[in-house]
């Protein structure tokens, strides 16, 4: 694969991951669709596209997914949608990315990894940025939405860890999307009295599932083998930035000084942790940023 092709596909994948935040926030803010319906439509349409890709392009690969990973995927998708009822696209993407990486790093520490001095500084910076972002104040994001997005990030981190070595990632993701659709169908049935999907909201949900999730993950999985582990991990630092730009341009959101400082602290701290890891350990953090679904 040529350098130009790798670069283009990587950029498209990062834009797709950031696009999930923008599409979800836009749908819940500008249309009448509810979070549960958005989640269900996203997962079903994502499953359809991923299965089509595996049938036509990856029929010789192996991988099925499992129910535990599917529940983690459902928890991520549901928390993601309900969090965006109140969070801006930029804040949600930053909290999600930080929680995913914190889960991956925490798993590494639990498995026996040791942090160097530079990594400890990075971890302290990232934690300080998160605390600074969530401290009470006029520019602090809503607490409930923030907690839901942190839960979504934790669930995504668990899902990514469980997906390592499970087979072809696209086929595994397709199987898990399909299984997760059953969980979200139950959620939609439970919240049926609150459902209010409209045509435009449904279109956004389908776009989130089919394009920015299904096709986005397929692009990412196709380019990851050509990237060094450090490059694959650090390139994901761009996702919250792209989401912030999209929120400003498309949704008319404003970015506060608190958010900028917190972003620099969180993303800079995570970069220090990732970039100072030995190559064999960095690979633990190579997951889609929204991503992210294996």
Q: Give residue-wise pLDDT tens across range 68-96.
A: 999 999 999 999 999 999 999 999 999 99
- Residue 282: what pLDDT? 44
User: Residue 4 — very low, low, confident or very high, per pLDDT cuts 50/70/90?
Assistant: confident
Say whether pLDDT at 120 is over 60. Answer: yes
User: Residue 58 — very low, low, confident or very high, per pLDDT cuts 50/70/90?
Assistant: low
Q: Give residue-wise pLDDT tens across range 243-286.
A: 999 999 999 998 888 899 999 999 998 888 877 765 444 444 44
pTM for the complete prediction?
A: 0.86
Residue-by-residue DSSP string for the chain: --HHHHHHHHHHHHHHHHHHHHHHHHHHHHS---HHHHHHHHHHHHHHHHHHHHHHH-TT------HHHHHHHHHHHHHHHHHTTTS-HHHHHHHHHHHHHHHHHHHHHHTT----HHHHHHHHHHHHHHHHHHSSSTTPPPHHHHHHHHHHHHHHHHHHHHTTTSS-HHHHHHHHHHHHHHHHHHHHHHTGGG----HHHHHHHHHIIIIIIIIHHHHHHHHGGGS-HHHHHHGGGHHHHHHHHHHHHHH-----HHHHHHHHHHHHHHHHHHHTS-HHHHGGG-S-SS----
**Most confidently predicted of 28-37, 110-119, 166-175, 232-241:** 28-37
Say whether pLDDT at 292 is over 70. Answer: no
């Amino acid at each position: 694969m040529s350098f130009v092709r790798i670069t283009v596909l990587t950029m498209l994948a990062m834009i797709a991951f950031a696009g999930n935040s923008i599409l979800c926030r836009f749908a819940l803010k500008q249309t009448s669709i509810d979070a549960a319906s958005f989640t269900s439509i996203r997962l079903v349409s994502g499953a359809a596209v991923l299965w089509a890709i595996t049938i036509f392009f990856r029929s010789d690969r192996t991988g099925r997914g499992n129910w535990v990973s599917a529940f983690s995927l459902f928890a991520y998708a549901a928390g993601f949608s309900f969090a965006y009822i109140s969070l801006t696209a930029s804040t949600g993407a930053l909290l999600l990315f930080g929680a995913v990486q914190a889960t991956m790093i925490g798993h590494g520490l639990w498995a026996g990894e040791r942090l160097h001095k530079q990594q400890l500084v990075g971890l302290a910076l990232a934690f300080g940025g998160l605390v600074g972002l969530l401290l009470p104040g006029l520019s602090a994001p809503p607490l409930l939405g923030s907690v839901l997005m942190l839960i979504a990030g934790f669930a995504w981190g668990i899902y990514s860890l469980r997906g390592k070595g499970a087979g072809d990632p696209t086929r595994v993701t397709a199987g898990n999307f399909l299984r997760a659709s059953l969980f979200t169908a139950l959620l939609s049935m439970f919240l049926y009295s609150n459902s209010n999907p409209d045509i435009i909201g449904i279109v956004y949900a389908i776009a989130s599932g089919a394009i920015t999730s299904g096709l986005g993950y397929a692009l990412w999985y196709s380019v990851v083998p050509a990237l060094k582990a450090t490059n694959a991990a650090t390139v994901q630092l761009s996702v919250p930035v792209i989401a912030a730009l999209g929120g400003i341009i498309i949704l008319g959101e404003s970015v506060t000084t608190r958010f900028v400082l917190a972003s620099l602290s969180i993303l800079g701290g995570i970069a220090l942790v990732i970039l100072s890891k030995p190559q064999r350990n960095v690979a633990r953090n190579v997951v889609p940023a929204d991503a992210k679904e294996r």
